[in-house]
Each structure stands twice: as C-alpha cells, then as structure tokens.
C-alpha cells in the first residue's frame, strides 16, 4: 500500500516539476524578447510591445510564486503516517473514486489503479478531511461513502 502512495507522491512531484519547468521556460523567452527588442522608428509600437512583454513577465512571475507555494505544501506531505482519519497524505477509497490528499494535480494512474490528487482545501478535499472509513459525505448532490482510508 505504501508503494502505491509513494508512486502517487512521485507523480505529484513530477507534475510540480513540469509546471515549474514550463514557467521557467516562458520567463526565459519573455526575458530574451525584452532584451532583444530593439527600438525602431515606430516608437509607440515598440513601447506597446515592451508593455505587453512586461505584463507577460508579471503573469509568469505570479505563476512561479504559486508553484513555490505548491512546493511548500507538497513538502509537508507525510505518506508514512498511519491514520484512520483522512488527512494530508491519505489515500481514500470511496464509492465514487479514489483520492490522494496532496496537491491538486488531477488524475494519476498506475498500471491498474487510478486516483485523483486533490488538495485538502478543494471542495471535495474539505469534505473528506477528518472523515473515517464508513462515513459518507454529500458532494454535488451525490452521496459518497468512504470505503477505506490508507
């Protein structure tokens, strides 16, 4: 069981690293465009282009900040902790789907297993946190029973 949680954790880490790599690449491209843009005779056009690039750089800077916060939250996940109550790092089997309480990384798959990586502050995460095996929650009008908490 802990092997499965370890695999899911590695997939979450890969998700974060891929996002980080994409944002860093985008920042590098914008930086290059800003430094390589030369002033031409159409001054207003040049200034508009620089302003657009500055906005892009700010947007990517914000995304970088979000990824750093995600990495911080990720560093707090302890998959070895054994708890009967759903908490950060829990793998929750329900009547609807399987959930790995970690970060919002979407669907994770292994050869014969599928789970959704969700953050504890997501709507479904908030409902599951603190619950035990056998309890039910109502999400989007559907009753979901917790079958097992690992």
Q: How many Å apart are CA 150 and CA 141, to the nearest integer?
A: 25
- Rounded mean pLDDT of 116-134? 96
Predicted confidence at residue 1, as pLDDT, reads: 53
Q: Provide the mean pLDDT of the chain.
A: 90
pLDDT surpassing 60 at residue 21: yes
In sign, the C-alpha dihedral spanning 15, 3, 150, 72 is negative
Residue located via tokens 């969700």: 118
- Is 100 strand, coil or helix? strand
- Is 96 strand, coil or helix? coil
Domain boundaries, the chain: 2-75, 91-149
Other beta carbons within 10 angstroms of residue 60's beta carbon come to 20
**Proportion of the chain above pLDDT 70, given as a percent:** 92
pLDDT surpassing 60 at residue 109: yes
- Rounded mean pLDDT of 134-142? 95
Predicted confidence at residue 13, as pLDDT, reads: 95
Question: Considering the entire predicted model, what is its pTM?
Answer: 0.82
């Amino acid at each position: 069981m802990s092997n499965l949680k370890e695999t899911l954790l590695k997939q979450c880490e890969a998700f974060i690293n891929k996002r980080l790599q994409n944002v860093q690449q985008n920042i590098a491209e914008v930086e290059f465009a800003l430094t390589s843009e030369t002033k031409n005779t159409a001054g207003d056009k040049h200034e508009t282009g620089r302003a657009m690039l500055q906005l892009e750089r700010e947007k990517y800077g914000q995304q970088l900040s979000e990824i750093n916060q995600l990495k911080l939250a990720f560093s707090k996940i302890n998959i070895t902790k054994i708890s009967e109550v759903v908490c950060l790092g829990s793998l929750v089997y329900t009547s609807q789907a399987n959930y790995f309480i970690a970060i919002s990384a979407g669907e994770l798959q292994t050869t014969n297993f599928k789970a959704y990586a969700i953050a504890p502050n997501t709507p479904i995460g908030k409902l599951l946190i603190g619950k035990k095996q056998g309890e039910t929650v109502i999400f989007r009008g559907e009753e979901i029973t917790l079958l097992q908490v690992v």
